[in-house]
Structure 1
Protein backbone atom coordinates (compact mmCIF):
# COMPACT_ATOMS: atom_id res chain seq x y z
CA UNK A 1 0.00 0.00 0.00
CA UNK A 2 1.41 3.40 -0.94
CA UNK A 3 2.14 6.16 1.56
CA UNK A 4 -0.94 8.23 0.68
CA UNK A 5 -3.31 5.36 1.42
CA UNK A 6 -1.59 4.80 4.75
CA UNK A 7 -2.10 8.47 5.65
CA UNK A 8 -5.72 8.39 4.45
CA UNK A 9 -6.58 5.30 6.46
CA UNK A 10 -4.90 6.76 9.56
CA UNK A 11 -6.80 10.05 9.18
CA UNK A 12 -10.18 8.32 8.86
CA UNK A 13 -9.53 5.79 11.63
CA UNK A 14 -10.64 8.33 14.27
CA UNK A 15 -14.46 8.01 14.55
CA UNK A 16 -15.09 11.71 15.22
CA UNK A 17 -12.88 12.75 12.31
CA UNK A 18 -14.62 10.30 9.99
CA UNK A 19 -17.99 11.69 11.08
CA UNK A 20 -16.73 15.23 10.43
CA UNK A 21 -15.61 14.18 6.94
CA UNK A 22 -19.09 12.77 6.23
CA UNK A 23 -20.58 16.03 7.48
CA UNK A 24 -18.38 18.04 5.10
CA UNK A 25 -19.39 15.72 2.24
CA UNK A 26 -23.04 16.43 3.02
CA UNK A 27 -22.53 20.22 3.14
CA UNK A 28 -21.51 21.39 -0.35
CA UNK A 29 -21.71 25.06 0.67
CA UNK A 30 -18.84 24.45 3.10
CA UNK A 31 -18.43 24.33 6.88
CA UNK A 32 -16.49 26.50 9.29
CA UNK A 33 -14.58 25.49 12.40
CA UNK A 34 -17.42 26.81 14.54
CA UNK A 35 -20.00 24.86 12.50
CA UNK A 36 -18.12 21.63 13.22
CA UNK A 37 -17.61 22.52 16.88
CA UNK A 38 -21.34 23.15 17.33
CA UNK A 39 -22.40 20.07 15.33
CA UNK A 40 -20.20 17.63 17.28
CA UNK A 41 -20.08 19.34 20.67
CA UNK A 42 -16.31 19.80 20.69
CA UNK A 43 -14.00 22.75 21.35
CA UNK A 44 -13.24 24.88 18.24
CA UNK A 45 -9.53 24.13 18.64
CA UNK A 46 -10.28 20.39 18.46
CA UNK A 47 -12.54 20.95 15.45
CA UNK A 48 -9.75 22.93 13.75
CA UNK A 49 -7.28 20.09 14.35
CA UNK A 50 -9.61 17.52 12.79
CA UNK A 51 -10.28 19.73 9.78
CA UNK A 52 -6.58 20.46 9.34
CA UNK A 53 -5.80 16.74 9.39
CA UNK A 54 -8.42 16.05 6.73
CA UNK A 55 -6.99 18.89 4.64
CA UNK A 56 -3.44 17.56 5.02
CA UNK A 57 -4.37 14.21 3.47
CA UNK A 58 -6.26 15.86 0.62
CA UNK A 59 -9.83 14.92 1.54
CA UNK A 60 -11.05 18.50 2.02
CA UNK A 61 -9.84 21.96 1.08
CA UNK A 62 -10.05 25.15 3.15
CA UNK A 63 -10.71 28.55 1.57
CA UNK A 64 -10.80 32.04 3.05
CA UNK A 65 -14.37 33.13 3.77
CA UNK A 66 -14.92 36.73 2.64
CA UNK A 67 -17.77 38.09 4.74
CA UNK A 68 -17.18 41.82 4.30
CA UNK A 69 -17.12 42.18 8.06
CA UNK A 70 -14.18 43.25 10.16
CA UNK A 71 -11.90 40.96 12.12
CA UNK A 72 -9.81 37.99 11.15
CA UNK A 73 -11.26 36.15 8.13
CA UNK A 74 -12.37 32.58 8.75
CA UNK A 75 -12.04 29.51 6.57
CA UNK A 76 -14.69 27.40 4.89
CA UNK A 77 -13.92 23.73 4.31
CA UNK A 78 -15.33 21.72 1.41
CA UNK A 79 -14.80 18.14 0.25
CA UNK A 80 -12.55 17.71 -2.77
CA UNK A 81 -14.43 16.76 -5.92
CA UNK A 82 -12.95 13.26 -6.19
CA UNK A 83 -13.86 10.02 -4.46
CA UNK A 84 -11.36 8.05 -2.40
CA UNK A 85 -11.23 4.27 -2.19
CA UNK A 86 -9.23 2.36 0.43
CA UNK A 87 -9.01 -1.44 0.46
CA UNK A 88 -6.61 -4.00 1.86
CA UNK A 89 -5.16 -5.58 -0.16
CA UNK A 90 -5.54 -3.15 -3.04
CA UNK A 91 -8.43 -3.89 -5.40
CA UNK A 92 -8.78 -2.14 -8.77
CA UNK A 93 -12.55 -1.84 -8.77
CA UNK A 94 -12.48 1.19 -11.08
CA UNK A 95 -11.13 -0.89 -13.95
CA UNK A 96 -13.65 -3.64 -13.23
CA UNK A 97 -16.46 -1.06 -13.17
CA UNK A 98 -15.25 0.46 -16.44
CA UNK A 99 -15.27 -2.94 -18.16
CA UNK A 100 -18.69 -3.86 -16.78
CA UNK A 101 -20.26 -0.49 -17.63
CA UNK A 102 -18.84 -0.49 -21.15
CA UNK A 103 -20.34 -3.93 -21.69
CA UNK A 104 -23.68 -2.78 -20.27
CA UNK A 105 -23.80 0.27 -22.52
CA UNK A 106 -23.12 -1.83 -25.61
CA UNK A 107 -25.96 -4.07 -24.54
CA UNK A 108 -28.16 -1.22 -23.34
CA UNK A 109 -29.83 -0.48 -26.67
CA UNK A 110 -31.38 -3.94 -26.67
CA UNK A 111 -31.86 -4.43 -22.95
CA UNK A 112 -32.25 -1.13 -21.06
CA UNK A 113 -35.47 -2.26 -19.42
CA UNK A 114 -33.82 -5.42 -18.11
CA UNK A 115 -30.79 -3.48 -16.79
CA UNK A 116 -32.92 -1.00 -14.85
CA UNK A 117 -35.20 -3.79 -13.61
CA UNK A 118 -32.21 -5.63 -12.13
CA UNK A 119 -30.95 -2.47 -10.38
CA UNK A 120 -34.41 -1.70 -9.00
CA UNK A 121 -34.80 -5.25 -7.69
CA UNK A 122 -31.39 -4.97 -5.96
CA UNK A 123 -32.55 -1.84 -4.12
CA UNK A 124 -35.91 -3.42 -3.30
CA UNK A 125 -34.35 -6.66 -2.01
CA UNK A 126 -31.88 -4.73 0.15
CA UNK A 127 -34.67 -2.68 1.70
CA UNK A 128 -36.91 -5.70 2.25
CA UNK A 129 -34.11 -7.57 4.05
CA UNK A 130 -33.51 -4.48 6.17
CA UNK A 131 -37.20 -4.29 7.10
CA UNK A 132 -37.28 -8.00 8.00
CA UNK A 133 -34.07 -7.86 10.06
CA UNK A 134 -35.42 -4.92 12.06
CA UNK A 135 -38.94 -6.37 12.30
CA UNK A 136 -40.43 -3.28 10.63
CA UNK A 137 -43.73 -3.08 8.76
CA UNK A 138 -43.72 -0.24 6.17
CA UNK A 139 -47.43 0.49 6.58
CA UNK A 140 -46.93 1.33 10.28
CA UNK A 141 -44.03 3.74 9.78
CA UNK A 142 -44.46 7.49 9.98
CA UNK A 143 -42.98 9.67 7.17
CA UNK A 144 -40.22 10.73 9.58
CA UNK A 145 -39.35 7.09 10.34
CA UNK A 146 -39.30 6.25 6.62
CA UNK A 147 -36.90 9.14 6.09
CA UNK A 148 -34.49 7.82 8.72
CA UNK A 149 -34.51 4.26 7.39
CA UNK A 150 -34.14 5.32 3.73
CA UNK A 151 -31.25 7.60 4.71
CA UNK A 152 -29.45 4.69 6.35
CA UNK A 153 -30.01 2.35 3.42
CA UNK A 154 -29.12 4.77 0.63
CA UNK A 155 -26.16 6.11 2.59
CA UNK A 156 -24.36 2.75 2.66
CA UNK A 157 -23.19 2.89 -0.99
CA UNK A 158 -21.73 6.34 -0.35
CA UNK A 159 -24.56 8.45 -1.71
CA UNK A 160 -24.79 10.58 1.46
CA UNK A 161 -28.40 11.64 0.88
CA UNK A 162 -30.66 14.17 2.49
CA UNK A 163 -34.24 12.89 2.69
CA UNK A 164 -37.28 14.84 3.85
CA UNK A 165 -41.01 14.14 3.73
CA UNK A 166 -43.25 16.37 1.63
CA UNK A 167 -46.34 14.58 2.91
CA UNK A 168 -47.34 10.98 3.69
CA UNK A 169 -47.10 10.00 0.02
CA UNK A 170 -44.11 11.99 -1.24
CA UNK A 171 -40.48 12.48 -0.24
CA UNK A 172 -37.69 14.72 -1.48
CA UNK A 173 -34.21 13.22 -1.88
CA UNK A 174 -30.95 15.13 -2.47
CA UNK A 175 -27.69 13.28 -3.17
CA UNK A 176 -24.71 15.53 -2.38
CA UNK A 177 -21.92 13.00 -2.78
CA UNK A 178 -21.94 10.26 -5.39
CA UNK A 179 -19.47 7.45 -4.75
CA UNK A 180 -19.25 6.82 -8.50
CA UNK A 181 -19.25 10.38 -9.81
CA UNK A 182 -16.12 9.90 -11.92
CA UNK A 183 -17.57 6.79 -13.58
CA UNK A 184 -20.91 8.53 -14.08
CA UNK A 185 -19.38 11.23 -16.28
CA UNK A 186 -17.81 8.54 -18.48
CA UNK A 187 -20.75 6.14 -18.32
CA UNK A 188 -24.23 7.75 -18.02
CA UNK A 189 -25.56 4.26 -17.35
CA UNK A 190 -24.34 4.75 -13.75
CA UNK A 191 -27.04 7.39 -13.22
CA UNK A 192 -29.66 5.09 -14.72
CA UNK A 193 -28.63 2.30 -12.35
CA UNK A 194 -28.54 4.59 -9.29
CA UNK A 195 -31.96 5.99 -10.16
CA UNK A 196 -33.42 2.48 -10.43
CA UNK A 197 -31.64 1.33 -7.26
CA UNK A 198 -33.08 4.21 -5.21
CA UNK A 199 -36.49 3.65 -6.76
CA UNK A 200 -36.36 0.04 -5.54
CA UNK A 201 -35.54 1.16 -1.98
CA UNK A 202 -38.53 3.51 -1.91
CA UNK A 203 -40.80 0.83 -3.41
CA UNK A 204 -40.09 -1.39 -0.40
CA UNK A 205 -41.40 1.38 1.89
CA UNK A 206 -44.14 2.93 -0.24
CA UNK A 207 -45.43 0.05 -2.33
CA UNK A 208 -46.27 1.06 -5.90
CA UNK A 209 -44.27 4.26 -6.39
CA UNK A 210 -42.16 6.32 -8.75
CA UNK A 211 -38.91 8.29 -8.44
CA UNK A 212 -38.81 11.52 -10.44
CA UNK A 213 -35.47 13.15 -11.20
CA UNK A 214 -35.49 16.94 -10.80
CA UNK A 215 -31.81 17.65 -11.49
CA UNK A 216 -28.52 15.80 -11.92
CA UNK A 217 -24.81 16.48 -11.32
CA UNK A 218 -24.15 15.11 -14.80
CA UNK A 219 -26.10 18.08 -16.21
CA UNK A 220 -24.05 20.54 -14.13
CA UNK A 221 -26.25 20.76 -11.03
CA UNK A 222 -24.44 20.90 -7.66
CA UNK A 223 -26.49 17.94 -6.34
CA UNK A 224 -28.84 15.28 -7.69
CA UNK A 225 -32.44 15.83 -6.62
CA UNK A 226 -35.37 13.42 -6.77
CA UNK A 227 -38.97 13.22 -5.60
CA UNK A 228 -40.34 9.81 -4.58
CA UNK A 229 -44.13 9.53 -4.80
CA UNK A 230 -46.55 6.80 -3.79
CA UNK A 231 -48.80 5.90 -6.71
CA UNK A 232 -52.51 5.19 -6.25
Structure 2
Protein backbone atom coordinates (compact mmCIF):
# COMPACT_ATOMS: atom_id res chain seq x y z
CA UNK A 1 0.00 0.00 0.00
CA UNK A 2 1.36 3.41 -0.92
CA UNK A 3 1.29 6.55 1.21
CA UNK A 4 -1.42 7.92 -1.09
CA UNK A 5 -3.54 4.81 -0.45
CA UNK A 6 -3.22 5.33 3.30
CA UNK A 7 -4.41 8.93 3.00
CA UNK A 8 -7.48 7.83 1.06
CA UNK A 9 -8.31 5.07 3.56
CA UNK A 10 -8.16 7.32 6.67
CA UNK A 11 -11.33 9.38 6.03
CA UNK A 12 -13.11 6.29 4.71
CA UNK A 13 -12.48 4.56 8.06
CA UNK A 14 -13.82 7.59 9.94
CA UNK A 15 -17.04 7.60 7.93
CA UNK A 16 -17.41 3.83 8.28
CA UNK A 17 -17.23 4.27 12.04
CA UNK A 18 -20.49 6.23 11.89
CA UNK A 19 -22.35 3.66 9.79
CA UNK A 20 -23.66 1.93 12.93
CA UNK A 21 -26.86 3.75 14.04
CA UNK A 22 -26.09 3.39 17.76
CA UNK A 23 -22.61 4.78 17.24
CA UNK A 24 -23.97 7.66 15.22
CA UNK A 25 -26.46 8.54 17.99
CA UNK A 26 -23.62 8.54 20.48
CA UNK A 27 -21.48 10.75 18.27
CA UNK A 28 -24.31 13.22 17.70
CA UNK A 29 -24.94 13.44 21.45
CA UNK A 30 -21.28 13.99 22.30
CA UNK A 31 -20.84 16.51 19.48
CA UNK A 32 -23.88 18.45 20.67
CA UNK A 33 -22.53 19.11 24.16
CA UNK A 34 -20.62 22.19 25.29
CA UNK A 35 -17.83 20.17 26.90
CA UNK A 36 -16.39 16.67 27.36
CA UNK A 37 -18.91 13.92 28.19
CA UNK A 38 -18.67 11.01 30.62
CA UNK A 39 -19.38 7.49 29.37
CA UNK A 40 -22.36 7.00 31.68
CA UNK A 41 -23.89 10.32 30.63
CA UNK A 42 -23.68 9.34 26.97
CA UNK A 43 -25.12 5.89 27.74
CA UNK A 44 -28.11 7.33 29.62
CA UNK A 45 -28.78 9.90 26.90
CA UNK A 46 -28.86 7.29 24.13
CA UNK A 47 -30.61 4.52 26.08
CA UNK A 48 -27.84 1.92 25.97
CA UNK A 49 -25.69 0.19 28.59
CA UNK A 50 -22.49 1.78 29.83
CA UNK A 51 -20.48 -1.19 28.56
CA UNK A 52 -21.88 -0.82 25.04
CA UNK A 53 -21.39 2.95 25.16
CA UNK A 54 -17.75 2.50 26.17
CA UNK A 55 -17.20 0.07 23.29
CA UNK A 56 -18.64 2.42 20.66
CA UNK A 57 -17.02 5.54 22.12
CA UNK A 58 -13.58 3.93 22.12
CA UNK A 59 -14.09 2.71 18.56
CA UNK A 60 -14.74 6.32 17.53
CA UNK A 61 -11.59 7.41 19.38
CA UNK A 62 -9.58 4.89 17.33
CA UNK A 63 -11.23 6.20 14.14
CA UNK A 64 -10.15 9.75 14.99
CA UNK A 65 -13.66 11.10 15.52
CA UNK A 66 -13.39 11.60 19.28
CA UNK A 67 -10.60 12.45 21.70
CA UNK A 68 -10.36 11.61 25.39
CA UNK A 69 -9.27 13.24 28.62
CA UNK A 70 -9.54 12.39 32.31
CA UNK A 71 -10.98 14.49 35.14
CA UNK A 72 -12.74 14.14 38.47
CA UNK A 73 -16.20 15.66 38.91
CA UNK A 74 -16.23 19.27 40.08
CA UNK A 75 -15.70 19.56 43.83
CA UNK A 76 -14.04 16.17 44.23
CA UNK A 77 -10.34 15.85 44.89
CA UNK A 78 -7.71 14.49 47.22
CA UNK A 79 -7.56 11.06 48.85
CA UNK A 80 -10.71 8.99 48.51
CA UNK A 81 -12.00 10.97 45.56
CA UNK A 82 -11.74 7.94 43.29
CA UNK A 83 -10.25 7.56 39.86
CA UNK A 84 -10.71 10.36 37.32
CA UNK A 85 -13.50 9.69 34.85
CA UNK A 86 -12.76 9.18 31.17
CA UNK A 87 -14.28 11.99 29.12
CA UNK A 88 -15.03 12.14 25.40
CA UNK A 89 -15.30 15.08 23.01
CA UNK A 90 -15.19 15.54 19.22
CA UNK A 91 -11.88 16.19 17.52
CA UNK A 92 -11.49 19.33 15.44
CA UNK A 93 -10.61 17.30 12.35
CA UNK A 94 -12.83 17.46 9.29
CA UNK A 95 -13.90 14.29 7.50
CA UNK A 96 -14.56 14.17 3.77
CA UNK A 97 -14.21 11.54 1.07
CA UNK A 98 -13.75 12.04 -2.66
CA UNK A 99 -12.96 9.26 -5.13
CA UNK A 100 -10.66 9.95 -6.83
CA UNK A 101 -9.15 12.41 -4.31
CA UNK A 102 -9.81 16.13 -4.87
CA UNK A 103 -7.75 18.84 -3.19
CA UNK A 104 -10.22 21.69 -2.96
CA UNK A 105 -8.54 22.77 0.28
CA UNK A 106 -5.36 23.52 -1.68
CA UNK A 107 -7.33 25.65 -4.15
CA UNK A 108 -9.06 27.49 -1.30
CA UNK A 109 -5.69 28.18 0.31
CA UNK A 110 -4.23 29.53 -2.93
CA UNK A 111 -7.22 31.81 -3.45
CA UNK A 112 -6.95 33.05 0.13
CA UNK A 113 -3.24 33.71 -0.38
CA UNK A 114 -4.12 35.72 -3.49
CA UNK A 115 -6.63 37.80 -1.54
CA UNK A 116 -4.12 38.53 1.22
CA UNK A 117 -1.47 39.34 -1.39
CA UNK A 118 -3.57 41.94 -3.20
CA UNK A 119 -2.43 45.35 -1.91
CA UNK A 120 -5.37 47.15 -3.52
CA UNK A 121 -7.98 45.28 -1.49
CA UNK A 122 -10.13 44.88 -4.61
CA UNK A 123 -10.02 41.09 -4.54
CA UNK A 124 -11.07 41.04 -0.87
CA UNK A 125 -13.96 43.41 -1.56
CA UNK A 126 -15.10 41.23 -4.47
CA UNK A 127 -14.95 38.11 -2.30
CA UNK A 128 -17.01 39.66 0.50
CA UNK A 129 -19.58 40.91 -2.02
CA UNK A 130 -19.80 37.41 -3.47
CA UNK A 131 -20.24 35.98 0.04
CA UNK A 132 -23.14 38.34 0.75
CA UNK A 133 -24.78 37.39 -2.53
CA UNK A 134 -24.34 33.69 -1.72
CA UNK A 135 -26.03 34.32 1.62
CA UNK A 136 -28.98 36.01 -0.09
CA UNK A 137 -29.32 33.04 -2.48
CA UNK A 138 -29.40 30.67 0.48
CA UNK A 139 -32.28 32.54 2.12
CA UNK A 140 -34.92 30.34 0.45
CA UNK A 141 -33.51 27.06 1.80
CA UNK A 142 -35.99 26.93 4.73
CA UNK A 143 -36.14 28.34 8.25
CA UNK A 144 -32.99 30.01 9.51
CA UNK A 145 -31.73 27.22 11.79
CA UNK A 146 -32.24 24.62 9.04
CA UNK A 147 -30.36 26.76 6.54
CA UNK A 148 -27.48 27.26 8.99
CA UNK A 149 -27.29 23.50 9.61
CA UNK A 150 -27.18 22.77 5.90
CA UNK A 151 -24.36 25.28 5.57
CA UNK A 152 -22.36 23.51 8.30
CA UNK A 153 -22.62 26.07 11.12
CA UNK A 154 -24.13 23.69 13.73
CA UNK A 155 -26.43 26.39 15.21
CA UNK A 156 -28.00 26.47 18.67
CA UNK A 157 -30.67 28.99 19.70
CA UNK A 158 -30.16 30.22 23.28
CA UNK A 159 -32.06 33.13 24.85
CA UNK A 160 -32.62 34.99 21.59
CA UNK A 161 -29.07 34.38 20.36
CA UNK A 162 -27.96 31.84 17.78
CA UNK A 163 -24.56 30.42 18.63
CA UNK A 164 -22.69 28.74 15.79
CA UNK A 165 -20.70 25.81 17.12
CA UNK A 166 -18.82 25.14 13.89
CA UNK A 167 -16.98 27.18 11.28
CA UNK A 168 -17.49 25.56 7.84
CA UNK A 169 -14.09 26.91 6.81
CA UNK A 170 -12.21 25.86 9.96
CA UNK A 171 -9.02 24.56 8.32
CA UNK A 172 -8.68 27.61 6.10
CA UNK A 173 -9.27 29.86 9.12
CA UNK A 174 -6.11 28.51 10.76
CA UNK A 175 -4.04 30.42 8.18
CA UNK A 176 -6.42 33.23 7.25
CA UNK A 177 -8.37 34.15 10.38
CA UNK A 178 -9.32 37.71 9.43
CA UNK A 179 -10.30 36.77 5.89
CA UNK A 180 -12.46 33.78 6.88
CA UNK A 181 -14.16 35.68 9.71
CA UNK A 182 -14.99 38.48 7.29
CA UNK A 183 -16.31 35.95 4.76
CA UNK A 184 -18.54 34.29 7.38
CA UNK A 185 -19.80 37.68 8.53
CA UNK A 186 -20.63 38.78 4.98
CA UNK A 187 -22.34 35.49 4.10
CA UNK A 188 -24.52 35.53 7.22
CA UNK A 189 -25.40 39.20 6.77
CA UNK A 190 -26.52 38.37 3.25
CA UNK A 191 -28.55 35.41 4.54
CA UNK A 192 -30.42 37.59 7.04
CA UNK A 193 -30.99 40.33 4.48
CA UNK A 194 -32.35 37.79 2.00
CA UNK A 195 -34.83 36.64 4.65
CA UNK A 196 -36.01 40.19 5.28
CA UNK A 197 -34.26 40.35 8.65
CA UNK A 198 -31.82 42.96 9.92
CA UNK A 199 -28.32 42.05 8.68
CA UNK A 200 -26.86 43.90 11.67
CA UNK A 201 -28.06 40.98 13.82
CA UNK A 202 -25.06 39.06 12.53
CA UNK A 203 -22.10 40.35 14.48
CA UNK A 204 -18.48 39.34 14.92
CA UNK A 205 -17.96 37.78 18.36
CA UNK A 206 -14.96 35.41 18.20
CA UNK A 207 -14.82 32.76 20.97
CA UNK A 208 -12.82 29.55 21.26
CA UNK A 209 -14.77 26.56 19.97
CA UNK A 210 -17.34 28.62 18.04
CA UNK A 211 -17.70 30.32 14.68
CA UNK A 212 -16.61 33.95 14.86
CA UNK A 213 -20.16 35.21 14.20
CA UNK A 214 -23.17 35.26 16.54
CA UNK A 215 -26.71 36.05 15.40
CA UNK A 216 -29.09 38.04 17.60
CA UNK A 217 -32.69 37.43 16.56
CA UNK A 218 -35.44 40.00 16.61
CA UNK A 219 -38.67 39.20 18.47
CA UNK A 220 -40.47 38.77 15.16
CA UNK A 221 -37.86 36.45 13.71
CA UNK A 222 -37.62 34.31 16.85
CA UNK A 223 -41.34 33.58 16.65
CA UNK A 224 -41.05 32.10 13.13
TM-score range, shorter chain: 0.7 to 0.9
Count of residue correspondences: 206
For structure 2, list consecutive stretches of 5 or more residues without a partner in the other structure: 220-224
1:122 aligns to 2:116 (yes or no): no
* Whole-angstrom CA distance in 1 between matches of 2:189 and 2:31: 23
User: Bigger shift: 13-22 or 61-70?
Assistant: 13-22
- From 191, 200, 209, give the equivalent of 1:210: 200
1:179 aligns to 2:145 (yes or no): no
* Residue in structure 2 matched with residue 103 of structure 1 by the alignment: 114
1:18 aligns to 2:12 (yes or no): no
* Residue in structure 2 matched with residue 154 of structure 1 by the alignment: 148
RMSD: 2.8
Q: TM-score, normalised by structure 2?
A: 0.77
Q: Which structure ranks higher in relative contact order (CA pairs < 8 Å, sequence separation ≥ 6)? A: 1
CA distance change for structure 1 residues 40 and 25 in 2, over 3 Å: closer, same or farther?
A: same
* Whole-angstrom CA distance in 1 between matches of 2:151 and 2:108: 14
For structure 1, list consecutive stretches of 5 or more residues without a partner in the other structure: 132-148, 167-171
Give deviations 1:120-165, integer Å, cap 9, x for gaps.
221221221x24xxxxxxxxxxxxxxxxx32322122332222235
User: Bigger shift: 77-86 or 182-191?
Assistant: 77-86
* Whole-angstrom CA distance in 2 between matches of 1:52 and 1:210: 43
Q: Determine helix, strand or coil for the equivalent of 1:82.
A: coil
Q: Determine helix, strand or coil for the equivalent of 2:216.
A: strand
Question: Is the CA contact 1:83–1:179 (under 8 Å) kept in the aligned structure 2?
Answer: no
CA distance change for structure 1 residues 176 and 113 in 2, over 3 Å: closer, same or farther?
A: same
